[in-house]
């Protein structure tokens, strides 16, 4: 991203397609001047005369009837002068307004550039900027709550607290190095060790929330697999609560993997229905089965479906073997037809995997299955989303680096090593934490973060 921060950017802020309204956003020092050039209102007042944060009716001549909002710096999204123009939804009107603004000197914004400016102008820190994208992409209410907390600065406050405690320790150490003979208060090695340990403990607690936070944000992939005709697609439709996949009495109905997003008890799940495994009938079916096997090997959760009205066959056994030792649930379907398979035979292959009996026909056992999915994902424990939660791998690896550096500093303190050596590790932990909130950053980090945003945000 080679944008400069002193020009005026413009973008459509609403999604492409038809809608009730479409919004064009302008940000930068010439925003209001540009609005003056293109906006005509009945009272002939110009946007530069409007009070800040007020909305006005008028026209962009030759294009559309609009409502225009003027928001003067610094109380705006970017901390710059911002103008928003509400047009009728639809790309033609929006494109028309956009073209006029570009002709008058605005530059089309890059992805995430408004939010990047909010960061560079100091309104939000980097972790808060990342939360904006997570809010836009939130898949469930619980995931949204984590990101809203992060945007409100909850994570940043924890990081800042840890960081400032370590900076104080660093200052103590450096004072002790610089003025060894002076009679100034520089604390004791024991006191410093205690403080570092406490900070490390807090950071470890935070790092421990990453597993759950990442699941709430990104969800998991659950793959429904099994031999042909056991009822995989029937189960997929029941979990999705709609008839998404074709179900027939013929084995080999599903030929390709089919993915859909579903929320099961608040967990975002990418649910995949796969082609049933059976004696191969042709190239297409073979390709489908290869795909099924590769989905199973990459799954976070395997839902192994068996037809309970038939004895286990070699394909069932292959499936159970592949799922053994992985995060899996064995589902015995068609329970309405009675049980013809021997549970002991299943147990011989899969010792610890939970077995659930269901009937897709009678819609029986689906609640229990959903409960078990929930338990599997949260390892049986009910997790709370109180306090801050990590949901971003960039933050997690920076915290891990900080924890390692603090552990080295503790070690050095215990061994009574020189203050210079200890402060190297301490500084490293300060920098790692600084990367999270953007106290420390470079263009590469910013490019990676903001290029994931949509244009107009």
Ligand X SMILES: Nc1nc2c(ncn2[C@@H]2O[C@H](COP(=O)(O)OP(=O)(O)OP(=O)(O)O)[C@@H](O)[C@H]2O)c(=O)[nH]1
Stretch that binds Mg ion, among 107-115, 157-165, 178-186, 249-257 (CB under 5 A): 249-257
Cβ 360 to ligand X, closest distance in Å? 3
At 174, list the tokens. Answer: 């450096």
Mark residues 218-237: x for contact with Mg ion by CB under 5 A, - for none: --------------xx----
Give the distance from CA 341 to its chain's centroid: 42
Using DSSP bridges, classify how beta strands 328-333 and 354-357 pair: parallel, antiparallel or unpaired.
Answer: parallel
The span from the first CA to the last CA of the chain, in angstroms, equals 15
Mark residues 355-374: x for contact with ligand X by CB under 6 A, - for none: ----xxx-------------
Mark residues 303-342: x for contact with Mg ion by CB under 5 A, - for none: ----------------------------------------
Q: Does residue 11 come out as left (phi exceeding 0), alpha (psi in the -120 to 50 range) or beta?
A: beta
Cβ 276 to ligand X, closest distance in Å? 2
Q: Which is nearer to ligand X, 40 or 337 (CB)?
A: 337
Tokens 């979990």 sit at which residue? 239
Contact residue for ligand X among 276, 365, 419, 438 (CB under 6 A) = 276
Question: Residue 55 and residue 408: Cα distance in Å, rounded?
Answer: 57
Q: What residues have CB less than 8 Å from 26, skipping those under 6 apart?
A: 8, 9, 10, 34, 35, 82, 83, 84, 85, 101, 106
Cβ 116 to ligand X, closest distance in Å? 47
Cβ–Cβ contacts within 10 Å for residue 341, how many? 17
Q: Which is nearer to ligand X, 192 or 334 (CB)?
A: 334
Cβ 299 to Mg ion, closest distance in Å? 17
Cβ–Cβ contacts within 10 Å for residue 421, how many? 15
Q: Which is nearer to Mg ion, 209 or 274 (CB)?
A: 274
Cβ 307 to Mg ion, closest distance in Å? 12
Evaluate whether 365 touches 356 at the Cβ level (below 8 Å).
yes
Phi, psi of 383 (to 5 degrees): -95, 145
Q: Which residues 241-270 are close enough to bind ligand X by CB under 6 A?
A: 247-249, 251-254
Question: Residue 80 and residue 243: Cα distance in Å, rounded?
Answer: 49
Per partner kind, with CB cut-offs from 5 to 8 A, the member of ligand X, Mg ion, none near residue 334 is ligand X
At 451, list the tokens. Answer: 């290029």
Residue 128 sits in the site that holds ligand X (CB under 6 A): no
Q: Which residues 159-218 are close enough to bind Mg ion by CB under 5 A?
A: none
Cβ 275 to ligand X, closest distance in Å? 6
Residue 2 sits in the site that holds ligand X (CB under 6 A): no
Question: Residue 234 and residue 238: Cα distance in Å, rounded?
Answer: 6
Q: Which is nearer to Mg ion, 76 or 233 (CB)?
A: 233
Per partner kind, with CB cut-offs from 5 to 8 A, the member of Mg ion, ligand X, none near residue 147 is none
Per partner kind, with CB cut-offs from 5 to 8 A, the member of ligand X, Mg ion, none near residue 123 is none
Evaluate whether 117 touches 79 at the Cβ level (below 8 Å).
yes
Mark residues 305-344: x for contact with ligand X by CB under 6 A, - for none: ----------------------------xx-xx-------
Evaluate whether 94 touches 117 at the Cβ level (below 8 Å).
no
Give the distance from CA 416 to its chain's centroid: 43
Residue 254 sits in the site that holds Mg ion (CB under 5 A): yes
Per partner kind, with CB cut-offs from 5 to 8 A, the member of Mg ion, ligand X, none near residue 251 is ligand X
Do you find a cis peptide bond into 74, omega within 30 degrees of 0? Answer: yes
Of 95, 129, 187, which is closest to residue 449 (Cα–Cα)?
129
Q: Which is nearer to ligand X, 24 or 331 (CB)?
A: 331
Cβ 337 to ligand X, closest distance in Å? 5
Side-chain-side CA neighbours of residue 337 (13 Å): 15
Mark residues 222-241: x for contact with ligand X by CB under 6 A, - for none: ----x-xxxxxxx-------
Stretch that binds Mg ion, among 199-207, 248-256, 288-296, 419-427 (CB under 5 A): 248-256
Instruction: Output the CA–CA distances (angstroms, integers) from residue 422 to 1, 63, 168, 180, 426, in the order listed.
Output: 38, 65, 14, 16, 6
Residues lying near Mg ion in the complex (CB under 5 A):
232-233, 253-254
Residues lying near ligand X in the complex (CB under 6 A):
226, 228-234, 247-249, 251-254, 276, 333-334, 336-337, 359-361
């Amino acid at each position: 991203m080679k944008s400069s921060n002193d020009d005026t950017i413009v973008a459509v802020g609403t999604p492409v397609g038809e809608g009730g309204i479409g919004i064009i956003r302008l940000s930068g020092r010439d925003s209001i001047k540009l609005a003056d050039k293109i906006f005509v209102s009945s009272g002939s007042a110009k946007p530069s005369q409007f009070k800040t944060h007020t909305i006005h009716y008028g026209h962009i001549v030759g294009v559309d009837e609009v409502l225009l909002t003027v928001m003067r710096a610094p109380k705006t999204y970017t901390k710059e002068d911002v103008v928003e123009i509400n047009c009728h939804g639809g790309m033609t009107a929006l494109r028309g307004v956009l073209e006029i603004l570009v002709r008058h000197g605005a530059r089309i914004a890059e992805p995430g550039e408004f939010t990047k400016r909010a960061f560079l102008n100091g309104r939000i820190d980097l972790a808060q900027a990342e939360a904006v994208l997570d809010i836009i992409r939130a898949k469930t209410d619980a995931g949204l709550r984590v990101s809203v907390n992060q945007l409100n600065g909850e994570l940043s406050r924890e990081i800042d607290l840890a960081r400032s405690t370590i900076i104080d320790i660093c200052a103590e150490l450096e004072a002790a190095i610089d003025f060894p003979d002076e009679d100034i208060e520089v604390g004791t090695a024991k006191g410093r060790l205690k403080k570092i340990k406490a900070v490390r403990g807090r950071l470890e607690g935070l790092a421990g929330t990453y597993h759950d936070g990442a699941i709430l944000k990104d969800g998991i992939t659950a793959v429904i697999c099994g031999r042909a005709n056991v009822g995989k697609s029937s189960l997929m439709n029941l979990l999705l609560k709609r008839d998404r996949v074709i179900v027939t009495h013929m084995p080999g109905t599903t030929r390709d993997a089919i993915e859909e997003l579903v929320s099961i008890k608040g967990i975002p799940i990418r649910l995949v229905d796969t082609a049933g495994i059976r004696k191969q009938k042709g190239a297409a079916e073979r390709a489908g089965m290869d795909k099924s096997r590769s989905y199973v090997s990459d799954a976070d959760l395997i839902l192994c479906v068996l037809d309970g009205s038939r004895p286990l066959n070699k394909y069932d056994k292959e499936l159970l073997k592949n799922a053994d030792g992985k995060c899996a649930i064995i589902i015995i379907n068609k329970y309405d037809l009675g049980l013809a398979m021997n549970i002991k035979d299943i147990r011989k292959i899969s010792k610890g995997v939970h077995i659930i009996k269901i009937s897709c026909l009678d819609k029986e056992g689906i609640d229990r299955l959903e409960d078990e999915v929930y338990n599997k994902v949260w390892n049986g424990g009910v997790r709370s989303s109180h306090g801050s939660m990590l949901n971003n791998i960039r933050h997690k690896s920076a915290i891990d680096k900080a924890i390692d550096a603090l552990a080295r500093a503790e070690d050095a303190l215990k061994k009574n090593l020189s203050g210079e050596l200890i402060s190297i590790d301490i500084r490293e932990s300060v920098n790692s934490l600084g990367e999270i909130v953007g106290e420390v950053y470079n263009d590469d980090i910013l490019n990676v973060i903001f290029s994931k945003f949509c244009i107009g945000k």
